Amino acid sequence: MTNLGSRRRFLRNAALWAGTALAALKTGTRVAVAAPVFINDPFQLGVASGDPSADGFVLWTRLAPDLFDPQALPQEAIPVAWEIASDRAMKKIVAHGQVLAHPEFAHSVHVDVTGLMPGREYFYRFHAGAAVSRVGRALTWPTPRGPADRVRFAVASCQAYDEGYFSAYRDMVAQDPAFILHLGDYIYETTRIPPVRRVPVADAYTLEEYRLLHAIYKTDPDLQAAHAHCPWLYMWDDHEVANDYARDQSERTQDPAVFVKRRIAAYQAVYEHMPLRISARADASGRSYMFQRSDYGDLAAFTLLDLRQFRDRVACQTETDHSGRVADTTVCTEITNPKRTVLGDTQERWFGSNFVKNPAAWNVIAQTLMLSEFDQTTNGGYAVFTDSWGGYPAARRKIINLVRDRKVPNCISLGGDIHSYFVSDIRDNDKDERSPILMSEFVGTSITSESTNYALYTSFLPRNPQIKFFDDRKRGYMLCDVDRTVWKTALRTVDDVRVREGRFATLRSFAVENGKSGVQAT
Ligand code: FE
Ligand code: CA
């Protein structure tokens, strides 16, 4: 650091401390700043709510007066007050409290709010010193298995900041979803060329680098507005850590022991920037438990699956490359090894008992890849992309068999990762048109991340009759309107993410009728 840099930093800290009266609170072994004064708005990353239940949700914010200077706050805990009201003007306060924003978690704040009424709209904000955050809106869900007639929600994934503006979220907010389901690649650890907007981290490895990426992503005003608009349900995919990683294996063959430390740092940065429960923080063995089931009354049950942390390595790695590739299953026989897992033992057992229990009208597998088969052969064999479910057919088959054997009704898979819309029916045997349809799948395109596979993927469609619709030429998200009789998915698009003022449209709409399997174009 230059002398100038350290002098600037000192002045900042002096400014922070000026007027605090140093009335330090003793909190355990940690000293907290009682009345902080900030050099800048400490709430510039916005506010968020997440993980809604019938009696509450998680509230999130992070104190960050200067995104580029982790020293802008003292390495001490800072008290943050929160309040929840039943009105947007924040006049009718129904709950309030104070928590400490700890430096070891980047002064992030997570409040696990309980005791609220089911199926209600609430508003919230934070205070730190004299600073006040924007007002966010959150909704509690109907009582689990209690009556719920309809819900509208949005499904997002894959948002490379450098590849464009997050204007899809502006359209999403205008459509007023009750919640947003994000299926991963919330950040990208690497930058791509040529950038529409720049990020100052070329390749994230350290906690500080992942933190900076998250903070910069959060400065997008449309993303912030979407977090403030409604609660999110979120599951990470690979790019929150590193492309195509699998458990302790990185695509670039980083030493597994070193890579796991990197992964834990990346997961921590996710926790620090998302409205997640404390259970999403790493335990003593470095594992984070993100998989969960959330029931929107008796209408829809959402089972979120973690497909990265516990999976076996990508098949047929070379010594220098561990990333996914298109491989023929007769050449790369590792793919068909029946022992290969995606969910890992613990999550697979949990899924086996929890997914089939108390089915709702609609039973959703919210996962981050594409569960439908997609044969990409060019020579008459059977070729799969090894990083996706195609590289783990035995693990995929367990999910299909569970739905079939336990007769889970109205099963819908939601996915992402492939930066394309894919609408498919999943049959017990995809090669047999008379085989029963066990579920339908909607895979969403990306918020911004590019895809250049239109001609190639279109050429594979005749071999893949289970795929009813494919398009990767537009960025966007999925808007779902669900009631007791029909599930509707609209594929919403943005015409150009390289400009802030993108225009929005519905590319196609599909429906699945209750009790009648298979997607229909509407
Ligand atoms: Fe992606
Ligand atoms: Ca991905």
The answer as to whether 468 is a domain residue is: yes
Q: What is the pLDDT of residues 476-500, one digit of tens each?
A: 999 999 999 999 999 999 999 999 9
Distance 419 CA to ligand 1 centre (A): 6
* Same domain, yes or no: 413 and 496: yes
Helix (H, G, I), strand (E, B) or coil at 209: helix
* pLDDT confidence band for 205 (50 / 70 / 90): very high
Q: Report the C-alpha gap between 180 and 229 in whole angstroms.
A: 9
Predicted local confidence at residue 5, as pLDDT: 37
HSE toward the beta carbon, residue 465, CA cutoff 13 A? 9
* Same domain, yes or no: 154 and 125: no
pTM of the model: 0.94
* Same domain, yes or no: 80 and 171: no
* Same domain, yes or no: 131 and 166: no
Q: What is the mean pLDDT of residues 96-125?
A: 97
Token readout for 124 is 């919230």
Predicted local confidence at residue 31, as pLDDT: 57
The answer as to whether 189 is a domain residue is: yes
According to DSSP, the residues that pair with 480 across neighbouring strands are 153, 489
* Same domain, yes or no: 475 and 516: yes
CATH of the domain at 441: 3.60.21.70
* Same domain, yes or no: 182 and 319: yes
Domain range enclosing 23:
3-139
* Same domain, yes or no: 224 and 344: yes
Distance 510 CA to ligand 2 centre (A): 24
* Same domain, yes or no: 181 and 244: yes
Q: What percent of the chain has pLDDT over 90?
A: 87
The answer as to whether 144 is a domain residue is: no
Distance 237 CA to ligand 1 centre (A): 8
CATH of the domain at 95: 2.60.40.380
* Same domain, yes or no: 181 and 204: yes
Averaged pLDDT of the chain: 93
The number of domains in the chain is 2
Distance 279 CA to ligand 1 centre (A): 25
More reliable by pLDDT, 7 or 107: 107
Q: Report the C-alpha gap between 371 and 441 in whole angstroms.
A: 8
Crossing angle of the two packed helices 393-405 and 344-354, in degrees rounded to 10: 20
Distance 418 CA to ligand 1 centre (A): 6
254 contacts 88 by C-beta, under 8 angstroms: no
The answer as to whether 450 is a domain residue is: yes
The answer as to whether 145 is a domain residue is: no
* Same domain, yes or no: 252 and 174: yes
Ligand 2 is an ion; residues with CB less than 5 A from it: 185, 237-238, 417
